[in-house]
Amino acid sequence: MQIDVSGKTALVTGSTQGIGAAIAVGLAGSGARVGVNGRSEDTVSRAIGEIAERVPGAELVPVVADVTTDAGVDAALTALPDIDILVNNLGVFGAAEALSIDDDEWRRYFEVNVLSAVRLIRTYLPGMMQRGWGRVLDIASDSAIVIPREMIHYGMSKTALLAVSRGFAKEAAGTGVTVNSVIAGPTHTGGVEDFVYELVDRSLPWDEAQREFMRLHRPQSLLQRLIEPEEIANLVVYLSSPLASATTGAAVRVDGGYVDSIVP
């Protein structure tokens, strides 16, 4: 199976590290022109350099913008007026005692994890529909379905993102544009390493800490390890390609079997 997105332009939000950077690498490696997004010139420039090393000859566009704001969306639109592939990867997460989460924090999670995606879809989807081709991917989480006790606010935002994806897929029905969400399982990123050490003994070496975290906090994982960002990116790149033309309105799992369901 040859995945080819040559001639397509993609925007991956929050793509200076972690899952977003892996998605940017995957899309660039499959021929796409990729907008690399972050909030500062330094982080975007560094990420572009790292991606270019991994994908020689990649066409990469710096998109320095805080896409959680209207001004940031305008900046993204200036950098990339038309795109074919939108990957809403940007998100925040963290552990908090349920009864300690105040209104401002609930709003922050909704603004960053949900409304940033809505704004960008509202900005770019009409052009995709007019041109008769496009892909929108919203990076959700197993926490959308299995709400973690220590991250209720995060789970809420990712559940909302599933609804956003399904609803906009209906808006784009019959146009050649697909809209899907990707349910990512517990993934090994720098931010997740910090999160793991919030919940297990900080004196443990990483391999032991990871196993302890999965045993205590994610015991239903069939993979029994954290997923690597590239494994998430593989599915996103496929769903971004012409090969996935009949998949839309779906919540597609790459969760290591974490969600205890036989239904995708």
C-alpha R_g of the chain: 18
Q: Which of 124, 154, 197, 258 is catalytic?
A: 154
Catalytic status, residue 154:
yes
Are 123 and 166 in contact by the 8 Å Cβ rule? The answer is: no
CA proximity to 19, closest of 210, 179, 177, 236: 236
Which tokens in the block code for residue 206? Answer: 């990483």
Which tokens in the block code for residue 152? Answer: 């209720």
- Asked whether the CA dihedral 177, 242, 18, 79 is positive or negative, the reply is negative
State the greatest distance between any 2 C-alpha atoms of the chain, in Å, as a whole number: 55
Amino acid at 84: D
Please list the active-site residues: 154
